[in-house]
Structure formats: C-alpha cells, structure tokens
Structure 1
Amino acid sequence: MADGWWPSMISRRIICSGIAANMGAIPVNRRRFISISAAAIGVGMLPGVSWAQGGTPLRYWQGAAMGAKAQIQLYGADEAQAEAVFRRCRTEIDRLEGIFSLYRPQSQISRLNETGFLDNPPLELLDVMSRCQACWQNSGGAFDITIQPLWRLYADHFATAHADPAGPSEADIRQTLELVGSDKVTLGSRRIELQKPGMGISLNGVAQGYITDRVVALLRAAGFENCLVYMGETYAMGQHDDGRPWTAGISSPLRDRKVLARLPLRDQALATSGGYGSPFSDQSRLHHLLDPRSGHSATHYGSVSVVARDTMTADMLSTALYVMAPDKRDDIWGKYPALLKAVFVDETGHLTSYPA
C-alpha cells in the first residue's frame, strides 16, 4: 500500500463510507442510519462486515451528499494521494447531486418537478429515468419514480397534530394516485415532460446506487482494486488482501436484529429495502415503501436484500421486489442478468433466498 494511488503489484484498499449503507445486516431508515454511521469513524462499525486495519494512518473526508452526512475513508494513502481521490470523488458527487438531489432547489430533478418539464436534460438523468421506466414495466408497476405526490400526501398527513395512525383517507389516496404512473412521463433527449400538473419524480430509490457506481468507476480508473464503497448503497470490490471475500450480514427485522445469514461479496453490490425502519410516525406502522398501485405501504416482507453486479440494479430491484407480491417475483427475475440473488425476510424473521 505504500504506493497507494498508482497501479502496482500491491493491492489497494479504500473504504468509502457514508450516505446510508444498508451493508452489514441492518436495513434501517436511511436518513437515520446516515447520522449514526457518519458520526462513528472506525473499522468494523457495520455488523457482518470486516476488514483489516493497518497500513499508513487513516485519511478521511467528511461532507454531505444527497441531503445527508457523507464520509470517505482511505487506508494506505499519503496526504497528497488522499486529497487527489477525495477531490475527484467530491467533484463527481457534487455534479450528480446537481442532477438528482431533491434537497437542491436548482437541481435538474427539482426544476422538473416545479415546472413539469425539463428541456435538454442531462444524459445521466435520461439514463436513470429510462432504466426506471423499464423497471416500472418489468415489475408490473410496483416500482415507480412518479410516487412523489403519494409520499408527500403521507408525509403531510403525519406532519399534522394528532394524525390518524391509519393514514390519509381512501378518497385522498385515490385522488393522489391520479398523479402517479410512469406512463404519464414523456421521456426524450430534448425534453422530459410530466403530463399532469402536480406530478413529481423521486429518484431516491436509485440515485444513491447510481452515484455509488460512478464513484466505483473512478476508483477503478485510479487503480484501486480492493474496496468497500458506501454511497447510499454498498459495493464490494475485490477482496481482502489475504483472499477472503468481503462479507455482509442480513439481519432479522425483529428487535433482536439477529444475523440470519452472511453473504460473501466480490465485485458485487448489495442493497436492502425494509419498511419497518422508516415509519411515517412512531404511532403508525405505515412506512415509506408505498405500493404505487394501491397507495398503501407494502406488507409482503420485513426486508428484501438484493445482490447484483452493479449498485443501481441492486438498489432499484430491492425496492421493486419489496413491493411485488411473492408470486410475481419470476416476472422480473429473467429480465435482469445483473441480478444475482435476493434474500427475503418476513416479519417473523424467517429467511428465504431466491434462487434457493
């Protein structure tokens, strides 16, 4: 590791953490988990994930991305080498936030939601949205980026004093569902247009995975080979220096958070969706993983973890499979060669792997 940045026979290790990792068996609320993980600097803070300490002193960058604290940790790099990789990653994260972040009022997605159209959209936005439209079709409408008005209905409902824990009224849900549906989005290289006033797009289910993949590409180009990257979701590149794979734990959705299985990962991504970690209110079991067809929180599983060859696919399909009924999973499986494995955990803590 002495030569750090430049390619050589010495393996490189970088640990990039922040923006929410669901790695290591705890599929909890992303925003809440970000503040926990970003505040704890140290090796082994994520259960089920282990890596060796040592080498030159830790170098790290701490900032924000996609509305939350973020951190990049480097082992085995001197100050100049660390600053070079920090600068590249920081610049790319900032650029992509300018496209995808709902926290930035002047971002491309914020402008689209405000005006209902976006002329000359950036290629990255077209790429992500086209892949999301395909997933909407492949999942039978279970995955839908136009769900923002429905999420807002629930968020506004539970922001009121003495909110009914049963959620918004059925009449309000039905009315809001008129604004949901990826078939109501016109996607073109010259213009993206939302066909109904009041529609809105959220890419929170995929943008973090997309950004993770872009950061991974930067690290590969820089010569890093053995890495763990946490940028909203998780990508495990290479392996430990001694040849062992990176390992992630899948935990129970019950209070004991018992580790139910451990997954070896090498050049693979892992994403977890679990509604129990993100309720709209402490007084309600309703959560943000909403079925865009019914307007209600999905209840088939406690959590769904997906292993894939790229992080955006893992991120997107963990959400899609969480919302889809169990008897529909075959409908999506063969359409994604990058999809490798899914782990379904029910609310009693029973685990099922697919394929078995």
Structure 2
Amino acid sequence: MHRASGGRFDPTVQPLWALWAESAPRGGRPDARAIEDALSKTGCGKVELDAAAIALRPGMALTLNGIGQGYVADRIAALLETEGLTDILIDTGELRALGGKPEGGDWPVRLKTGKRVALRQRALATSSPLGTTFDQAGKDGHILDPTTGMPAPATWQSVTISAPSAAMADALATAACLMSDAAAILAMIRTFEGAHLEAGT
C-alpha cells in the first residue's frame, strides 16, 4: 500500500500525529522545527521487517488508524463465516458484506453524496480529511501528509472506495485523501484487483 500510494499511506506518521494532538489543546499548531523533528522519526524505509520481529528506530512509532477499522471488519467477517453465518453486513465504521441481504438482493448502502452502492461479498470505506480534526476550528484534519508533516490539503471532503476486503478499502481511501486529483487515485487503485473508486467529493 505504501509503494502503490507513492508513500502517502505511511503508518510511521504516529510521531507526527502525537505532535499535532499535543499542540491543539494549547491552541496552536506545531512549529516548523517540531514538525521537522517528528518527520525525522518517520518513514517506512526505516522499519525493519523479518519473520521474527518488526524493529523501529528510537522515537519511531506506528499507527494503525488508516487501516484498523477495516481490518477489524474483515476479522469479524472471518469469525462469523467460520461459524457458518452468511448474509451479514458488518459496520465498524467501514462496511464489510458477507453475502447479500437475507431476504435477497445486495446490501444497499447510501453515501453522504446521495449515491447508492450495492454490496455483496465486498467492502466499502470512506475517509474524510476533516472527519476528525485536531483543532476546535475544524481546519487541521487528522490525515497527515508524510512528506510535509501537515494535514491533508482540503482537496477532498471525502473519498469512498470499495474493495474485496475492508482493510484494503480503508487504506486506499486514507491514501486517496492525500492525492491531488481523481486520476492519481485511479492510478493507485488499479494496482489492487477488485478495488473501485465509488465517490470523491
């Protein structure tokens, strides 16, 4: 996901997230020097992965906010499926459909834009740069650009993506909020079979 998004999906932004979260209650934004320091503790290339361990450099931390709700929806779906349950719509903030409606047909989902999406054996995730904000004015959103250390620009109000798994849809929607136009989003999701851009406003 990190590679496909050109580095925009980056779970190592937790030091940046903590910096913004600490600055907001004091009524301000982090200064350039603090942002630069936090950026020095980020970067997927600094994470060491092998079969035995995940190692981070001092001061680094990971956040699963960009994929967590989707992953939980997938895990719940897997647990219910092993119990023999079918035709269920799971809502953890992101949606995961097992089968369709018990009485027949797909699960009808209505987006805030008014568009309707039919779900069957698929997942749907929506990310909104200003869905959660650090500041009371609601201008500094929670999706942070790992290249600048700043909140996502106000290009998108929300982006909705469907995919075979909720974790995939969640991660793609998060990364999409940091992209400048729909063409960039479409280029990213083309690398993931079965992913579709449902709405971007």
TM-score (norm 2): 0.92
Q: 2:157 aligns with which of 272, 290, 302?
A: 302
Match of 2:81, as an amino acid? R
Deviation at 1:325, TM superposition (A): 2.1
1:311: which partner in 2? 166
Structure 1, gaps ≥5 residues long: 1-134, 252-258, 346-356
Q: Aligned partners of 1:319, 1:175: CA distance in 2, in Å?
A: 24
For residues 340 and 222 of structure 1, the distance between their equivalents in structure 2, rounded to whole angstroms, comes to: 29
Q: Which residue in 1 is equivalent to 2:25?
A: 159
Which among 337, 340, 349 is matched to residue 196 of structure 2? 340
**Which residue, out of 244, 259, 281, partners 2:135?**
281
CA distance in 2: counterparts of 1:341 and 1:149, whole angstroms: 30
TM-score, scaled relative to structure 1: 0.53
Where does residue 48 of structure 2 map in the other structure? 186
Give the 5 Å matches for 1:59-98.
Answer: none
Give the counterpart of 1:168 among 25, 30, 35: 30
One-letter code aligned to 2:111:
I
2:94 corresponds to: 233
Q: Which residue of 2 aligns with 1:321?
A: 176
State the 1:284 CA deviation.
4.2
CA offset at residue 277 of structure 1? 2.0
Question: C-alpha offsets along residues 256-308 of structure 1, whole Å, 9 cap, x if unaligned?
Answer: xxx42111111111111112221112224001011111111112200011111
CA distance in 2, matches of 1:237, 1:341: 20
Quote the Cα distance in structure 2 between the aligned partners of 1:245 and 1:206: 25
Alignment match of 1:198 (pick from 41, 44, 59): 59
Find the partner of 1:150 among 5, 11, 16: 16
Residue aligned with 1:275, SS? coil
Distance across 1 between alignment mates of 2:149 and 2:70: 25
User: Radius of gyration: which is bigger?
Assistant: 1
CA contact (8 A) 1:313 1:338 kept: no
Rounded Cα–Cα distance in structure 2 between residues aligned with 1:286 and 1:231: 24
The count of residues paired between Structure 1 and Structure 2 equals 199
**Aligned residue number for residue 265 of structure 1:** 119
Deviation for aligned residue 1:208: 2.3
**C-alpha contact (below 8 Å) 1:158/1:280 kept by paired residues:** yes
Aligned-partner Cα distance in 2 for 1:340–1:324: 16
Q: 2:73 matched to which residue of 1? A: 212
Flag as ranges the 4+ runs of structure 1 deviating above 3 A: none
Query: CA 1:181–1:219 in structure 2 vs 1: closer, same or farther (change >3 Å)?
Result: same
Tell me the distance in 2 between the aligned counterparts of 1:233 and 1:186.
30
Is the 1:309–1:340 Cα contact (8 Å) retained in structure 2?
A: no
Q: Pick one of 206, 212, 223 that aligns with 2:84.
A: 223
2:20 and 2:30 in contact (8 A); partners too: yes
Shift of 1:232: 4.1
Deviation at 1:328, TM superposition (A): 2.2
Q: Deviations over 1:25-57 (max 9, x none)?
A: xxxxxxxxxxxxxxxxxxxxxxxxxxxxxxxxx
Task: Output the CA distance in 1 between the equivalents of 2:115 and 2:127.
Answer: 16
Give the aligned partner of residue 111 of structure 2.
250
1:136 to 2:2 alignment: yes
Contact 1:235 1:311 in 2 (8 A): yes
* Structure 2 unaligned residues grouped into runs of 5+: none
1:94-124: CA deviations, max 9, x gaps?
xxxxxxxxxxxxxxxxxxxxxxxxxxxxxxx
In 1, the alpha carbon distance for the partners of 2:140 and 2:125 equals 21
Counterpart amino acid of 2:13? Answer: I
Matched, 1:331 2:192: no
How many angstroms apart in 2 are the aligned matches of 1:150 and 1:249? 34
**Post-superposition offset of 1:185:** 0.2
